Structure 1
Amino acid sequence: MTADIETALDFAEPGLGRRTRAIVEDMGTAIVTGVHAPGELLPVEADLGVRYGASRSVLREAIKVLNAKGLVTARPRLGTSVTQPSQWNLFDPDVLRWTLRRNFSLPLLIEFTMVRLGIEPLAAAMAARRGSAEAHERIRAGFARMSAAHRGADDPLAADIAFHLAILDASGNSFYCRLKPLVSAALHFSIRYTDNIARDEEAKLAQHREVMEAILSRDADRSEQTARTLLLDAKALMEGGLDPMQIEGAAA
């Protein structure tokens, strides 16, 4: 198993066995990257068993997972076929990750940032109003990791993601907390993209500090405003890499 697959398995459903997760990762990637085209029948169960060295029950479990993600449809006596991309569940962290990895789509990333704009500023406000001392400490720890990363003492991507996920946790909203895997998957791409653009890293760190301080001071209005500004600035950086027609399409 390659290091890339090992890393990717961190995003997969934790309730699945490791072999099942590996098969889902391999087949899901193959479908989304076009190795298996929409409408194409997947190999029969016996052939898949030989390919993956897996039992019938493991293969069937993997197909069920892909079906739940909207990637395949299984019909008795007709086999399992790949669905159209319009049926893929982009709110599934794996599907979003595979889609972005297939052919990095900046418009899609901008669309998801717009979804985040409807969630994270409100989560920041809720974290300010009702976040526990322990939850606030995790936000503080996330920012401390970002500061350490800025000095070269931590991983910048992991630290940035930890900060944002800590805010979702601190909101106390069960639905927002369930979005953490999805937000994490998208952040792996958006942070890498925006960090490759010439920008003031000190200013970026200062923006995150403002969000943290607003939450820790329990100023809900300022928390919401600073979190929104942070996301709008990231969105503007992404839009800087598109032509006007692409930006219009991404905002539709």
Structure 2
Amino acid sequence: MRLRKDKGTKGEGAKREPSHVTVSRQLGVAIVTGRHEAGSVLPGEIEIAEQFEVSRSVVREALRMLSARGLIESRPKVGTRVKDRGSWNLLDPILLEWMFESTPSKKFVRNLFELRMIVEPAAAELAAQKKTARHLAAMGHAVEEMARHSLRTSEGQLADQEFHAAILDATDNELMINLSASIGAAVRWTTFFKFRNTKTPRDPIDEHRALFEAIAEGDKERARQVAIDLIINAERDIDAVLDG
């Protein structure tokens, strides 16, 4: 098995990723999509190195990355075993990316949107009260970039992620800010999944503009409601793709 080329989600001009990252990603995708089931033992280092045509040191580094995300554990005389899903770091941004390389389960997607519904409306309300000029500049720029590039492109999807991260940053709550990478990744990869699998997806740019305006005006009630509406509509979009 040769190293598979990156799918290009980061744009045509993106640099080629290091070999250990590629091996980790391909093994990680195989695990989170069920090709390597929980409790199963992965091939040994030598076999993986031969499959991917890389050195054993590359394989060891790739396995360390998987272990850090809770996907595998290595034991003497047993080998490298895939851990139960309950041990996975499901909010890790890279793991979220891997989940959407294929088609995630409806339960996982529902859980993801339930988390967003708990966090983001409250964050929008706080942001409306605590935002600074710096936060508004970041949000406004992100909305402009989303409109300029469209959410069909990696640039537009990154801008969408940055918009939601700026809202969490504006809460001035270090615990919410700590969720920024996870929430941002959830936003980015659900959007990527939707646009990859839908010919004419709904464009939510007006909802993002409305949320930005509510926060800029300090209207916390409206900011909360617009955030709720945005998440509900985004979940409906993904459900339509999964049901299709």
Q: TM-score, normalised by structure 1?
A: 0.75
Choose from 2, 20, 23 the match for 2:5: 2
Q: Give per-residue Cα distances to partners, 1:86-130, cap 9 Å, x unaligned.
A: 432212222222223233434422321111011111111222222
Alignment of structure 1 residues 188-207 onto 2, 5 Å: 188-192=188-192, 196=198, 201=203, 204-207=204-207
Structure 2 CA distance for partners of 1:165 and 1:73, relative to 1, 3 Å: same
Structure 2 CA distance for partners of 1:99 and 1:190, relative to 1, 3 Å: closer
For this pair of structures, how many residues does the alignment match? 232
1:246 alignment partner in structure 2: none
**Quick one: distance in 2 between partners of 1:100 and 1:69?**
16
Deviation at 1:141, TM superposition (A): 0.7
Q: Assess if the C-alpha contact under 8 Å between 1:23 and 1:52 holds in 2.
A: no
Q: Give per-residue Cα distances to partners, 1:155-181, cap 9 Å, x unaligned.
A: 543333332222122223333333333
1:141 alignment partner in structure 2: 141
**Quick one: distance in 2 between partners of 1:112 and 1:227?**
15
Structure 2 CA distance for partners of 1:74 and 1:157, relative to 1, 3 Å: same
Identity of aligned residues (%): 29
Q: Assess if the C-alpha contact under 8 Å between 2:194 and 2:241 holds in 1.
A: no
1:54 alignment partner in structure 2: 55
Structure 2 CA distance for partners of 1:105 and 1:35, relative to 1, 3 Å: closer
**Quick one: distance in 2 between partners of 1:190 and 1:63?**
26
What SS class does the counterpart of residue 172 from structure 1 fall into? coil
Q: Assess if the C-alpha contact under 8 Å between 2:160 and 2:188 holds in 1.
A: no
Alignment of structure 1 residues 86-97 onto 2, 5 Å: 86-97=86-97
Structure 2 CA distance for partners of 1:175 and 1:54, relative to 1, 3 Å: farther
**Quick one: distance in 1 between partners of 2:43 and 2:55?**
14
**Quick one: distance in 2 between partners of 1:186 and 1:151?**
14
Q: TM-score, normalised by structure 2?
A: 0.77
Structure 2 CA distance for partners of 1:197 and 1:236, relative to 1, 3 Å: farther
**Quick one: distance in 1 between partners of 2:236 and 2:34?**
30
Q: Assess if the C-alpha contact under 8 Å between 2:121 and 2:227 holds in 1.
A: yes
RMSD of aligned alpha carbons: 3.3
**Does the alignment pair 1:43 with 2:43?**
yes
Deviation at 1:217, TM superposition (A): 1.7
User: What are structure 2's unaligned runs of at least 5 residues?
Assistant: 12-16
Q: Assess if the C-alpha contact under 8 Å between 2:9 and 2:154 holds in 1.
A: no
1:116 alignment partner in structure 2: 116
**Quick one: distance in 1 between partners of 2:66 and 2:43?**
14
